[in-house]
Copies of this chain bind each other. A is one copy, B any other.
Amino acid sequence: MKTLGTLGEREAIRIIDGIVSSKADVGIGDDCAAIDIGDRYLLVTTDMMAAKTHVPKGMNPYDIGWTLVAVNLSDIAAMGGRPIGLVTAIGITRGHPMDFLEQLVDGMNDCAQRFGTSIVGGDTKEHEALTLCGTAIGEVPKNEILLRKGAKPGDLVVVSGELGMAGAGFYSMKRNLGLNEAEGVLKRPWPRLAEAKLLASSGSVTSCMDISDGLSSSIFELTRNSGLTYEIDYSRIPKAKEVEMAFHDLERQKSLVLNFGDDYELLFTARREAEGELERMAIEADCPFTVIGKVTSGEENILIDDGKREKLENLGYEHFRSRQS
């Protein structure tokens, strides 16, 4: 019998995609769905979190609430959008103290407020274990929408911020390394809304997504959507200094940077001639935008490491199968 465990998340999504007949202009497979509402697109994204399997130990209820909202806002950012509201469904046990619920909702509310939006509604249900589902609604001018497809060979591949920070935070919490800033990034993800808005309005960005499941996995998602390939130069990837504090071993560092995820940085492509503009926008946004490679039309995705060209492996997090990193 073919189960989800044997087939994996990507196959499940392929099957769902084959059944569902979406009337949206941008459907399943991008960070958000986009619905034409006349003068602009409405963006919708949803994300389910089970506390037991998706929440690292050491996160308090406030962190969990913040994260639920942040990961959904990150999807709105990935499309170049502005959030206009969120709804959150909370499945919680009878035994949870009311304090826990209060702190959870505080975290949700604070994150939404911090990014200029609000929780407009929700659902609270009794559940066997803490399970949360957030849905964010956003809007974007039609000519500014950023999709996972749209790049052309020769375009620059760019990331915002630094990678590996959340992964270093994860191992810091697990092994009491005291990397507080990294732990903070893991516990309170920061959606790149303002940065993405700036990029979207520049007209220089040709495709975009957020890195939730790791860089390697995200590159393969771009490939799936664009039909193109990507060549990444490992030495150019901006790595959080905490990565080498978490691991001495270079291979483990590399795995953290390429495969861990949870950084919620933007991965995007930009026209080749936009390098100067990227620098200008990085200053305006007060956020590094680093060119880490280029778009190609080859056979496979390539990682250049220490001068050697190797095939980039898709080792990011896939649900229903075991974590690789």
Whether A238 is near chain B, meaning CB under 8 Å from some CB there, is no
Whether A177 is near chain B, meaning CB under 8 Å from some CB there, is no
- CB <8 Å contact, B50 and A124: no
Tell me the bound Cα distance from A1 to B105 in angstroms. 19
Complex interface: chain B residues within 8 A of A32 (CB): 121
Chain A residues with a Cβ closer than 8 Å to the other chain, count:
78
Q: A5-B95, A84-B35, A122-B28 are in contact. Are A89 and B48 (CB under 8 A)?
A: yes
Complex interface: chain B residues within 8 A of A2 (CB): 97-99
Complex interface: chain B residues within 8 A of A92 (CB): 4
Complex interface: chain B residues within 8 A of A131 (CB): 48, 50, 91, 127, 131
Q: What's the nearest-Cβ distance from chain B to residue A213, in Å?
A: 12
- CB <8 Å contact, A33 and B97: no
Q: Is the interface of A mostly helix, strand, loop or mixed?
A: mixed
Whether A310 is near chain B, meaning CB under 8 Å from some CB there, is no
Tell me the bound Cα distance from A21 to B112 in angstroms. 10
Number of this chain's copies in the assembly equals: 2
Closest to A7 in B: B98
- CB <8 Å contact, A91 and B48: yes
Whether A133 is near chain B, meaning CB under 8 Å from some CB there, is yes
Stretch at the interface among A37-45, A162-170, A268-276: A37-45
Whether A27 is near chain B, meaning CB under 8 Å from some CB there, is yes
Whether A3 is near chain B, meaning CB under 8 Å from some CB there, is yes
Whether A250 is near chain B, meaning CB under 8 Å from some CB there, is no
A contacts, CB < 8 Å to B: 1-5, 7, 9, 11-13, 15-16, 19-24, 27-28, 30, 32-33, 35, 37, 42, 44-50, 52-54, 84-85, 87-99, 101-102, 105-106, 108-109, 113, 117-129, 131, 133, 135, 137, 139, 319-320
